[in-house]
Amino acid sequence: MALLKLTRFSLLLQNQCTTRILLPDNLEINQPLTVIWLLHGLGDNGTCWLRKTTLEQITSNYRIAVIMPDMGRSFYTNAKDGLPYWDYLTEELIPQMRRLLPLSNQRSENYLLGNSMGGFGAFKLAFKHPNWFQVVATFSPVVDLNIVKTIMPDYTHIFGSQIPQNYLQKLAKQSSPEQLTSIHWQHTIGQNDFMKDANDQFAQWMKTLKLDYTYTVSPGQHDWSFWENELVKLFKIWQLPLV
């Protein structure tokens, strides 16, 4: 795979912003690539999937693009007292990547994956734009924002003093039921993850929506050993185009 580090000026963030990209070594003319949008967790950036997993090795047999943006400590949200990271992701980053790179904009060829804070971001992005993605996968996602008080000392910078309650559930209820049911949802958590109880409860709620939704609990904790194992499993399940 070819590894690109793309740094460009963001009009919305008013800063130089970096996105890491994996592409096949050989590109074919007029054949857009299937895309995996890969979202990182709190305390990481777009390098984490490359540094802490075997992502490049795993993807080397596939004709796909993997897009890994840097999203800071944003929780994929327009900060109450800061920068509009949500608008940056949805109105600037994704459209710009599609203009600059040979990426498919077909829903059937767009996958979304995130871990922890990035899992929250994946759920949010899919609930807000369910017509953008065919498959949405989350590893150990933050599904109850009350947890941020214990893991993020600077949470008021993003959310203010009041943590939103049932945030993802409210987004799902505002979305198109028909489009939500056309997504294949994959949600996994480690048996010993400190957020397992919250994920169990969220999974029970998701099942009431009658979606194409799979929730699995596997041995592991909230760490990269677990996410590496789950990443390998996903690529065995997903029917991605081969090189």
Q: Is residue 232 part of a domain?
A: yes
- CATH number of 88's domain: 3.40.50.1820
Listed residue (146, 89, 100, 110) closest to 4, CA to CA: 100
31, two tokens: 């054949």
213, two tokens: 């939704």
Could you tell me if 20 and 5 are in contact, meaning their C-beta atoms sit under 8 angstroms apart?
yes
Please spell the DSSP secondary structure of 34-95, one letter per residue: EEEEEE--TT--TTHHHHHS-HHHHHTTB-EEEEEE--TT-TTSB-TTS-BHHHIIIIIIHH
> pLDDT at position 91, please?
98
> pLDDT at position 43, please?
96
d(CA 124, CA 215): 17
> pLDDT at position 237, please?
94
Could you tell me if 119 and 144 are in contact, meaning their C-beta atoms sit under 8 angstroms apart?
no
Q: Which domain holds residue 11?
A: 2-237
| Count of domains forming the chain | 1
Q: Is residue 96 part of a domain?
A: yes
Q: Is residue 223 part of a domain?
A: yes
φ and ψ at residue 101, rounded to 5 degrees: -125, 160
Question: Partners of 115 in the beta sheet?
Answer: 139
Q: Is residue 242 part of a domain?
A: no
> pLDDT at position 169, please?
98
Q: Is residue 127 part of a domain?
A: yes
β-strands 184-190, 212-218 pairing: parallel
Please spell the DSSP secondary structure of 195-226, one letter per residue: THHHHHHHHHHHHTTT-EEEEEEES--SSHHH
Q: Is residue 243 part of a domain?
A: no
Secondary structure of 55-71 as H, E, C letters? HHHHHCCECEEEEEECC
φ and ψ at residue 149, rounded to 5 degrees: -65, -25
Token pair 């984490």: residue: 48
pLDDT values of the chain reduced to their tens digit, one per residue, 243 residues: 999 999 999 999 999 999 999 999 999 888 999 999 999 999 999 999 999 999 999 999 999 999 999 999 999 999 998 999 999 999 999 999 999 999 999 999 999 999 999 999 999 999 999 999 999 999 999 999 999 999 999 999 999 999 999 999 999 999 999 999 999 999 999 999 999 999 999 999 999 999 999 999 999 999 999 999 999 999 999 999 999
CA distances from 105 to 45, 111, 121 (A): 24, 11, 20
Rg (CA), the chain: 17
The structure's pTM equals 0.97
d(CA 91, CA 111): 18
